[in-house]
Structure 1
């Protein structure tokens, strides 16, 4: 009871906070009543004629109700839409289950018409029905390591039904089994192994399978015992199993499983191994994602080897959609794995099985009591720009939240409540969403619309006297006829377009006259400020009331406010003229101010980008001066490099001194110049950003020049060698020509057939043969 009083106090404080919020109306561009209503949840519009003063902008009609009343607007002339709600279905809560659709949450339908930004709270009641039906689907791992567990379940059939009867008289139980996908690398695909995947000594072993539905929901104990007794163990290769595949099919194949419409739906998953999830199918070349559809034929999941495992997110959505609450009854070795899974699935519990599952009944009872005693109310996907916050009202509430409300330790038939606060941030068309307790079929449909229109008392007379007989009245302001503009339609625009006249009153396409004046015939007429002074400037952008203050004094009392900026008197400085001029703390050891790399404001250095306080001496992120000053060091020290021709211009901020040894103790550099020589130098940054003094060693370390004599000698030898080769070539060619001529002459003397011979051994043999023939003749 104390907690309820505390909650009531918190709600009262929240309402007081909203009342405080009502005191403000933040306006942007307001040219009409609709603009005003959209500006904020507590903005109201005054439609009273002559409410504004001549030249005063119509935006003053938009303010809080209290402010409008103080300005002389009567309540009946104030337009301020409010929220409204209409409960269209509110069936009474059921007290017990009477074989009909029970009602555990009310109301069931509500219509909300909301003003953007203005929260609306309504209350939801919930009471769990006594004796509410329970459907329990026992989903068991049939891999070989669960052999003893299967035998124990065959013995515990009566005890399991007795436990369910203690929960409710309307209990049903079903049974299913799973192993894994019957493809490599999950299952041995050898034909004999597929038929009998168990140990070779195991006589009763069924063929490998992914998921098999064994028994639909039944209240008959004998039927459950008979079907379970007929089951035998199976097996596979790897340790993780296809439990997510099985749970997905058990969730989406409702007709085959036999889930009742009005029941608490439980899946008890028993296993001693982890689970495969989306993406693991790639190991077997299975790339098709799980489609979250039912694929059961003859009680067997037929897409097991064609479709990937579901993701945890897919399974969570399917369980929530079908109001199924899983209980993971697992062995101790995988308890931590399933506890992590349970954190993702909102309505789930984890219990540790004994080695042979003998404690599974006690585990189910504890898990069911834990699930049923925790009531969690949440919503489905929300429309854009809609926010929902739940505040539980019960003895053991969870924290208020924007995604769900929780009540713990709720007893059967105990009435609890949830305050649901809905806020729409902008005008929307008709939208809806549903609110429901997790794991329970009851739902509340919330239909939303927004109230963004002004219901004003308008005049249809287009020659209304208030509008200089040149316009009509809409929400208290003039709607001018074509060709006229102005607060009272007093300005004829002639050949000019109205939009171009209004554009001339806007600075950088902003608000007309900065919202501080009226655009009259293309020029701003500025209003007065709250202090009685006037806005001024071409666009009413200036005033002398909005400068920074110091010690509750504008400009600290040490300056004048000019167009929103302090103009300090002599001897003062700072954005609010709060400081006496002094640079004592900005002085450096060499009597400079901030080393010339910043300005001294209020006796503190405001450093240029990169340079660090307090005195702007060092720079973080600046380029390395060893590299940036290399070209200047080269041209000033050695008269070479890229800046050689305009060294004095490019390097006017750099002073270089050549030395045989360094005297500076600052940054030492070593770089290669444009001629490939190593230059050693030291840099000292002087006052300013790009002002350096350098000492450079007189001697550069340059690479040795090429050996001319060796090159010449080598070249001469090369020439002689080429000459010898050339002479030899000419001698060879001359010799070959001479021999060829001898060969031609000899052929002419010969009576042998004229053929082409070469001057070789074979040719000489031919000549010898011919000579022999002549002698015989």
Structure 2
């Protein structure tokens, strides 16, 4: 029982919230019908010329439907443009007997006129037609490991065509092959290996290649058999193949492949993984894949060695764009890899090949039946500010895709499509349809952002003082006239200048509380019946702060949005009796002289905090700034010596013999150090200073010692120079003496 009540309550809240949002109308300075309906889906305009009261702005014409009816606007005078749909092409679904011009999607083309912000829903029908043609392109990996598979594929063409024709009545088949880029490290680039990448024992071998288109789509099974029989196996170096390169060419080369207005199937047969975007850098390929057909005259992929592999996202987008459904026929060892790939590509399937691909026909038929029975409805790129959601054929919750599974041939299913434009847009077009089918619904969407009123154009309407015409209930004035009723003649004045006089600080005209008439604000009435006032209607006496649900606490008067309190009361809402009892500090001062007492509490200034403004965590003692005052107060010297009481009245000095600690240490004019402490007094920049009576002055120089030292240094240097000269002379004499002795010795020997 509790659960049932809870569910009912939840539903009530949900639907109630939705209903409330539909009735909500948020508007700012709306003065016209067009601006009103652009404000939101719940906004409605009243075009009754007598709807507004004297002094009322035309803004009151814009509100919710219920609010306008309550204010007395006639039902016939409400302007509320609805969203609508028009069928442009709406052929019925084929009944299964038609052979040509099969119709599987209804409607085929519509035009939506949408109210911005309001969703619009319609039904999209789909029915799988009997005999809808099938185009199947068989894309085969011809690397050497697929040798046995190629032999079986050469004989499957006729069988596969027959099986498909049993299902659809009309089928065509084509063929292409791929290996990989012919660059290292993907393929051996030795000249002999490029010509014959197969093992030596293989006599028939195709030269290395990227992708080759062999046979365009045809209903001739014998032709398929003959063309495929001519194919030879090839080879490469690494395990991953160039599958995505080949898929991109098959998808983009529509004319070369021959894709028709049919169910398009692409069968990829391989036994290995795939290279993807970025792998080309291993071979020095830096240019990304350009998503375009690049087949040369021999139907070979000409940009294989110039463009990088495409990304999985590029492949998925192109397959969806061209309505091609891939079937990955792969061996068991890579089946998990392709199942993960299939999750990223809508309308795709994975089948496991036998060792020699002998089961490929059954695999393709089973995959086709599965893909065709699972219907996914989605859209192409949407215009800006447009969103689309779907409910499934079972009516389940909406999402960005409509899904319906196990749909049989001839079974009609229905999807609910919801389109919403969040803003005003011009005519835009997009398509909606089931993936894998060429048939689409073309949706042309535009918005209803202009009112269609029933007023007769009359440039001399009495309602507009014969100087304008009534448009949607309001006056559209003739040139040179302004005002709600065109009562203001502009004359030679500039219209913009007149309106500027009504704007305070370039804001809204008359603060949105009056009409600008000839450059002067004519103020409206307030909700309470009094009038706005002031040069720009900026004041009223009804919107002051309240206390205990009383305007100005019942202890004052509201004047221009601010409370003027009675004697004995204070506060922004006159909520407090005047008292300083809670603000008196221990010194007897109010808030230590560093703030104001409001409502018996200190409002501190100058960075001070605390109940009584006693502390300032960011303040520092002004030691250096107080140096000159300390010099005159403590030592009767310095720049303030003559006017010390006037310049230093904020300091109260005490001369002491000893300081337990020194807060400050500052030099005076004579270079002596002054030590003192500072203690704050009430107020700002007021201190008691304890000054140490003795300064620390540096001693003068010892002249005698300096002179004596200088003389001694000169004498010592002179003595050293004398000894040096004496040593040089002695060395020179000794050298001459030895030279003389050497010359005299031979002469004595001869005698």
TM over 0.5: yes
Residue aligning to 2:694:
none
CA contact (8 A) 2:347 2:435 kept: yes
SS of alignment partner, residue 146 of structure 2: helix
Residue aligning to 2:145:
145
Distance 1:554 1:210, change over 3 A: farther
Q: Distance in 1 between matches of 2:579 and 2:222?
A: 99
Q: What are the equivalent positions in structure 2 for 1:281-430 lying under 5 Å apart? A: 281-297=280-296, 298-353=298-353, 356-357=356-357, 360-361=360-361, 363-394=363-394, 397=396, 399-401=397-399, 403-430=400-427
Q: What are the equivalent positions in structure 2 for 1:670-709 lying under 5 Å apart? A: none
Runs of 5+ consecutive residues of structure 2 not aligned to the other structure = 1-8, 584-589, 631-638, 641-646, 652-657, 664-681, 687-708, 733-751
Residue aligning to 1:179:
179
Residue 163 of structure 1: CA displacement?
Answer: 5.5
Residue aligning to 2:245:
245
After superposition, the C-alpha distances for 1:473-499 in whole angstroms (9 at most, x for unaligned) are 333333334443323333334443222
Residue aligning to 1:642:
none
Q: Distance in 2 between matches of 1:492 and 1:329?
A: 83
After superposition, the C-alpha distances for 1:329-356 in whole angstroms (9 at most, x for unaligned) are 3345544543443343222233444555
CA contact (8 A) 1:146 1:272 kept: no
Residue aligning to 1:456:
453
Q: Distance in 2 between matches of 1:201 and 1:581?
A: 111
Q: Which region of structure 1 is more displaced relative to structure 2, 370-379 or 246-255? A: 370-379
Q: What are the equivalent positions in structure 2 for 1:595-744 lying under 5 Å apart? A: none
Distance 1:374 1:575, change over 3 A: farther
**Paired residues, number:** 657
Q: Does 1:192 align with 2:192?
A: yes
After superposition, the C-alpha distances for 1:144-200 in whole angstroms (9 at most, x for unaligned) are 233344345457667655664564343333322111112233222222101110222
| Superposition TM-score, scaled by structure 1 size | 0.69
Q: Which region of structure 1 is more displaced relative to structure 2, 243-252 or 521-530? A: 521-530
Q: Distance in 2 between matches of 1:414 and 1:119?
A: 29
Distance 1:14 1:258, change over 3 A: farther
Distance 1:286 1:660, change over 3 A: farther
Q: Distance in 1 between matches of 2:443 and 2:228?
A: 45
- 1:484 paired residue among 481, 484, 493: 481
CA contact (8 A) 2:182 2:210 kept: yes
Distance 1:182 1:488, change over 3 A: same
Q: Distance in 1 between matches of 2:269 and 2:614?
A: 69
Residue aligning to 1:740:
none
Q: What are the equivalent positions in structure 2 for 1:58-73 lying under 5 Å apart? A: 58-73=58-73
Q: Does 1:526 align with 2:523?
A: yes
After superposition, the C-alpha distances for 1:696-735 in whole angstroms (9 at most, x for unaligned) are xxxxxxxxxxxxx9xx99xx99x99xx99xx9xxx9xxxx
CA contact (8 A) 1:180 1:186 kept: yes
Residue aligning to 1:742:
none
CA contact (8 A) 2:145 2:271 kept: no
Distance 1:80 1:98, change over 3 A: closer
Residue 595 of structure 1: CA displacement?
Answer: 14
Residue 62 of structure 1: CA displacement?
Answer: 2.1
Q: Distance in 1 between matches of 2:135 and 2:31?
A: 62
| Superposition TM-score, scaled by structure 2 size | 0.71
- 2:500 paired residue among 503, 514, 531: 503
Residue aligning to 2:689:
none
Distance 1:200 1:93, change over 3 A: same
Residue 141 of structure 1: CA displacement?
Answer: 1.7
Residue 522 of structure 1: CA displacement?
Answer: 1.9
Distance 1:228 1:466, change over 3 A: closer
Residue 382 of structure 1: CA displacement?
Answer: 1.9
Residue 137 of structure 1: CA displacement?
Answer: 1.9
Q: Distance in 1 between matches of 2:610 and 2:346?
A: 53
Distance 1:93 1:574, change over 3 A: farther
Residue 123 of structure 1: CA displacement?
Answer: 1.4
Residue aligning to 1:706:
none
CA contact (8 A) 1:132 1:264 kept: no
What RMSD over aligned residues (CA atoms) do the two structures have, in Å? 5.6
CA contact (8 A) 2:465 2:487 kept: yes
Q: Distance in 2 between matches of 1:268 and 1:478?
A: 70
Q: Distance in 2 between matches of 1:406 and 1:596?
A: 76
After superposition, the C-alpha distances for 1:347-367 in whole angstroms (9 at most, x for unaligned) are 223344455545545544454
Q: Distance in 2 between matches of 1:481 and 1:226?
A: 84
SS of alignment partner, residue 392 of structure 2: strand
Distance 1:123 1:195, change over 3 A: same
CA contact (8 A) 2:37 2:80 kept: yes
SS of alignment partner, residue 508 of structure 1: helix
CA contact (8 A) 1:241 1:276 kept: no
Q: Distance in 2 between matches of 1:690 and 1:332?
A: 88
Q: Distance in 2 between matches of 1:86 and 1:276?
A: 46
Runs of 5+ consecutive residues of structure 1 not aligned to the other structure = 1-8, 587-592, 640-644, 654-658, 665-686, 692-708, 732-777
Residue 121 of structure 1: CA displacement?
Answer: 1.8
Distance 1:268 1:470, change over 3 A: same
Q: Distance in 2 between matches of 1:380 and 1:174?
A: 28
Residue aligning to 1:514:
511
Q: Which region of structure 1 is more displaced relative to structure 2, 190-199 or 21-30? A: 21-30
Q: Distance in 2 between matches of 1:618 and 1:514?
A: 44
SS of alignment partner, residue 300 of structure 1: coil
Residue aligning to 2:103:
103
